[in-house]
Structure 1
Amino acid sequence: MNKVEKISKLVGKYFTAAIIFWVVFNYFLPKTSEWVVPNVSYLLGIIFFGMGLTLKLQDFERIAKKPFPVIAGTFAHYLIMPTIAWILCLIFQLKGATAAGVILVGSCPSGTSSSVMAYLAGGDVALDVSIETLSTLLAPIALPGLLLLFAGKYVDIPTFSLFLSTVKIVLVPILLGLLVHHLFKNRIEWVTRFLPLVSQLAILLIIGAVISANHADLMTTQTLLVIPVVMLHNLSGYGLGYVFSKLIRLRTPQRKAITFEVGMQDSSLGATLAMKYFVPAAAIPSTVFSIWHNISGSVLAVNWKNKTVNEKTKVIREDTKSIVD
């Protein structure tokens, strides 16, 4: 068991490097992940089942007791990210499946790695997890609706099919996981130790499948244009998320949580739905987002953590100086 936890922590520590390596590896050996392509929805279901196993009824009680920050953060997420995606598509004149892919990842719920970034940054992790949970539970309605609103002019949106798929891929596994946790409680605690590693491996496999399916189109001008679009999308999400949380006068730890919850997307869900309902090229923005938001999130979290440490050190020095004087 300890070995599994150590491996999980090691993979988590170098997860961004692992993603970059896996992308490069699959680019030069695309047949490696061909077998994954028809199975990406099952992998995502495993991730969400694991998420359900980690949830408790207390998580929903926490939302009920202090709903305003959770509802506000979820609202900000679904308002800011799809809107920015649509604006960037207009500015960069993206078309067809590429534009739909950018808007798709912008319409996804919050990314699971946001809670890790909030923890590292000294943010309100409970708030982060609550927003992540609520945004994920709302995904079956929010995601097809936002796609229809913003991406309808680029591609045909199979709204009802997207709704059903999101229910099957997201909602059903989460509810099953929650039910199993409720029924067996402490008896399944040992299983949760495996979940971070399982989720990380599943995400890597999904990314490999996207690279394999899009190998021939990865170096086109339209595809390369996705990189700056995704970077701007993510960074704008951080910035506007922080401004929004400041405007509604939340405390600093809560601002950090909402910043990550707004700016980080469940790109694995985006890639899976893109592969299922659109052409493979629509999954590229989600894959690029998966790589980039782990890099940017880590940098922001470390900077915030260092700033907090420096501020505490400064206060201690000033207090010590006043005592000496």
Structure 2
Amino acid sequence: MSLTLISILLPAALGIVMFGLGLTLTVSDLVRVFKAPKAAVIALVCQLLVLPAIAFGLVLLFDLAPELAVGMMLLAASPGGSSASLFSHLAGGDVALNISVTAINSIIALVTFPIVAQLSMAHFLGEGQSIGLQPDKLIQIFATVVLPVVLGMWVRHRFTAWAERMRGTVKIASIVVLAVVIVGAVSQKYQVLLDNAGALAVITLLFCGCGLTIGYFAPRAFHVSPEQAIASAMEIGIHNAVLAITVAISVLGNETMAIPAAVYGILMYFPVVLVAYLFARRTRAGHLVNQPRDVDMA
């Protein structure tokens, strides 16, 4: 797959993912977060501050190559992935919190993402390497992140029944397009992937595991409900890999930087599925314990 075709497909794939998010989101979801913000604030702090620090530590620990290190930081700066709400639902989490935090974080990422990218490029590639905060780059990210969400919300409001029917189709379409794009992106730097496969596999799995762990226990430490803590775990453990890949290839013009997000986009499902299964078992067990028992009146 040519780099030109990938550069065209990537924004389209990201747009489909974010449009699908918009189909699940209502204004009341956002209002709800602002009325009871504790869980959302904790999740956002972990996402915006803690995870980039963890990614930086992992990169230094494994002495990752500079361009791959920048790619890992791009992944850490990405907001939650749209599939976080799906796994949160399966695990018994607060899905509305996932949807709201993903949308809010996607907007915040318009500012934080370029900052992380610039700082990481300057650190790992040299002081002269940075993307700055060029208006055209911000507009490009805005057009592929925020506008599709707004459009999806409008479609849901205007054509609610159709939006409900199309949610599954859009999600499947985004997964298929993302899979194609990941294969195409990795194929451009296949040898780099082979040379760093072991380190990248360990780093991305550790990164995902840390996100899931911190995402659950940090809210619980502040007495957030188990359902919201599960939602937070999925939100922080699952990142929008397609955004990191899109920025690496379409904005920065560097396929090597896209490799960590591509590896993560495949491997993250192993720990996420396992944790979702464990949470679901615990949730079902809790419901059974709390169910009233029949009393023998004889």
**Shorter-chain TM-score range:** 0.7 to 0.9
User: Any conservation in 2 of the 1:81–1:263 contact (CA below 8 Å)?
Assistant: no
Amino acid at match of 2:49: L
Shift of 1:253: 0.8
Which residue of the partner structure matches residue 12 of structure 1? none
Residues 45 and 170 in structure 1, CA contact (< 8 A), matched pair in contact too = yes
**Cα distance change of structure 1 residues 246 and 190 upon mapping to structure 2, 3 Å threshold:** closer
In the TM superposition, residue 212 of structure 1 has moved relative to its aligned partner by 2.1
Alignment CA distance shift 1:49-1:316 (3 Å): closer
Of 242, 261, 271, the residue aligned with 2:245 is 271
Partners of 1:176 and 1:88 in 2: how far apart? 37
Per the alignment, do residues 183 and 101 of structure 1 end up closer, same or farther by CA in structure 2, a change over 3 Å counting? same
Q: Structure 2-normalised TM-score?
A: 0.88
1:105 & 1:227 partners in 2: Cα distance? 14
Compare 185-194 and 91-100 and name the one that shifted more.
185-194
TM-score by length of 1: 0.81
Greater mean deviation of Cα atoms: 45-54 or 106-115: 45-54
In 2 relative to 1, CA 142–224 (structure 1 residues): closer, same or farther, beyond 3 Å?
Answer: same
Q: Secondary structure at the match of 1:205?
A: helix
Q: Which residue, 120, 129, 133 being the options, matches 1:160?
A: 133
Residue 257 (structure 1) aligned with residue 231 (structure 2): yes
CA RMSD of aligned residues (A): 2.5
Matched, 1:233 2:221: no
Distance 2:153 2:285 in 1: 40
Structure 1 residues not aligned, in runs of 5+: 1-30
Q: What residue is the counterpart of 1:80 in the other structure?
A: 50
CA 1:208/1:284 → structure 2, altered by over 3 Å: closer, same or farther?
A: same
Percent of pairs identical after alignment? 24
Alignment-mate amino acid for residue 37 of structure 2:
P
Match of 1:282 among 257, 261, 270: 257
Q: Deviations over 1:54-112 (max 9, x none)?
A: 32222222223222222221222111221111111111112311000111101100111
Give the total of aligned pairs. 291
Matched with 2:278 is 303
| Alpha-carbon contact 1:37-1:213 (below 8 Å) kept | no
Which residue of the partner structure matches residue 87 of structure 2? 117
Displaced runs of 4 or more, over 6 A = none
Q: Find the counterpart in structure 2 of residue 45 from structure 1.
A: 15
Measure the CA separation in 1 of the matches of 2:288 and 2:77: 41
> Conserved in 1, the CA contact under 8 Å of 2:248 and 2:257?
yes
For 1:252 and 1:187, the matched residues in 2 are separated by 33
**Contact 1:223–1:284 (Cα < 8 Å) also in 2:** no
Assess if the C-alpha contact under 8 Å between 2:119 and 2:130 holds in 1: no
Aligned to 1:213: 188
Matches within 5 A, 1:1-325: 31=1, 36-39=5-8, 40-155=10-125, 156-161=129-134, 162-186=137-161, 189-220=164-195, 222-276=196-250, 277-313=252-288, 319=293
Instruction: Rate the CA distance shift 1:190–1:275 in 2: closer, same or farther, 3 A.
Output: same
Contact 2:79 2:239 in 1 (8 A): yes
Separation of aligned partners in 2, 1:121 and 1:190: 23
